[in-house]
Amino acid sequence: MVRSAAGGGPGHGTLQGHDAAASALARLSSSLKPQLGTRLPAVLSVRVLLFILVVVLSLGVLVPIVSRSRSDLNAVRTSQTVPRLPHTANLHLGTNWRRYSLPQAAQAVASDGVLIVCTVSQPYLEFLNNWLISLARQNRHQAALIIAEDYATLDFVNTRWPGHAVLIPPALHEESNLRFGSQGFFNLTSRRPQYLLEILELGYSVLYNDVDMVWLADPFSYFKNKRDVYITDDMAMIKPEDHSHALPPPGKNGRTYICSCMLYLRPTEGAKLLMRAWIKELQERQWSPSHKTNDQPAFNWALNKTAGQVDVYLLPQVAFPSGGLYFKNETWRQETANKHVIVHNNYVVGSEKKLKRFRNHNLWFVEVDAGLSPLSEKGG
């Protein structure tokens, strides 16, 4: 099973317990804190006092010190807390995100009929932030719709970036056992084709990404020629740069190793047929203690069974490499530098290892490009 060996996305690694989730949230909150206007009083300290001092001294005015500094403070405060007009304002939802539906969310954030979707639970908020920064570097973040698996994630995203997260009930329970290979994990990942189908039926194209990916370039120029579905191979074996763009031949399990981690789907009958086939395969390949499956084998069987009815396009490996290739072969990585578009931090298990690996490869944008995060109050 490639995905367990690969230890794919956050979806595919081991989901941590509630404590880890709470601490991840706390870490992210504190890393975003300096940009939060509401925390201004705490931030005022040194920089603002120096600013006031310079103003006061340069004007040579000593008498109205008190009122003067107060108005400077207000000027600073105003400039840093100008409320952003959420583009969901027309929905009149206020902060009642719990009743925000997928059609409303899709309508609010889609750009040119396209949505960029990921799924996130609380332990992976930092990875979400990293992924969003990589989208923001390409100026594509505005079309991002985050499917929150729990209410903490829903509220966290929507209070900072109104309208960009939606929760499709039922929410994940904290006590759910979501380790890779568990039944809860299967249940969770099994929902993916259902909401992708719903988005297609609403008429949008959708780019789905696991949240342990980063963009190094804009992928949209690859989604051309109006195919139904664009897929990537999860194999690490190097292919010639002019490899075929057809569905590859089955591997040793009798099926292909296409990643369900990164999909571009157009709202065509072919793409919808594939989603329905995926849902059916999942129903027929239920999790059991002796068959600890997840969503990916079912996706590959669906590709197999709909072959000829769905126009699939295998994206170039050099642009969309698996983590088993990108992170494990430095020679290849250097030879193909500047050709990489979306990199997947899989073939490693656990969020600490994923984070360390991103950091070692200068892909932990949370630290180097924090100013671009749409999850800081000035972002979006």
Ligand X SMILES: *[C@@H]1O[C@H](CO)[C@@H](O)[C@H](O)[C@H]1NC(C)=O
**Pick 45 or 331: Cβ nearer ligand X:** 331
**Pick 32 or 273: Cβ nearer ligand X:** 273
- Cβ–Cβ < 8 Å for 248, 240: no
**Pick 28 or 231: Cβ nearer ligand X:** 231
- Cβ–Cβ < 8 Å for 209, 132: no
Q: Quote the least distance from Cβ 318 to ligand X, whole Å.
A: 10
**Pick 40 or 171: Cβ nearer ligand X:** 171
Q: Quote the least distance from Cβ 232 to ligand X, whole Å.
A: 17
Phi-psi label, residue 160: left if phi above 0, alpha if psi -120 to 50, beta otherwise: alpha
Q: Give dist(CA 135, CA 375) in Å, integer.
A: 12
Q: Give dist(CA 142, CA 336) in Å, integer.
A: 29
Q: Quote the least distance from Cβ 256 to ligand X, whole Å.
A: 7
HSE-CB at 69 with a 13 A cutoff on CA atoms is: 15
Q: Quote the least distance from Cβ 312 to ligand X, whole Å.
A: 10
Q: Quote the least distance from Cβ 249 to ligand X, whole Å.
A: 6
Task: Read off the DSSP letter of residue 307.
Answer: B
Q: Give dist(CA 80, CA 77) in Å, integer.
A: 5
Residue ranges that bind ligand X, judged by CB under 6 A? 176, 183-184, 187, 238, 247, 250, 254, 304, 307, 329, 331-332, 335
Residue 60: CB atoms within 10 Å: 6
Q: Quote the least distance from Cβ 18 to ligand X, whole Å.
A: 16
Q: Give dist(CA 125, CA 297) in Å, integer.
A: 27
**Pick 125 or 236: Cβ nearer ligand X:** 236
- Cβ–Cβ < 8 Å for 353, 269: no
**Pick 100 or 347: Cβ nearer ligand X:** 347
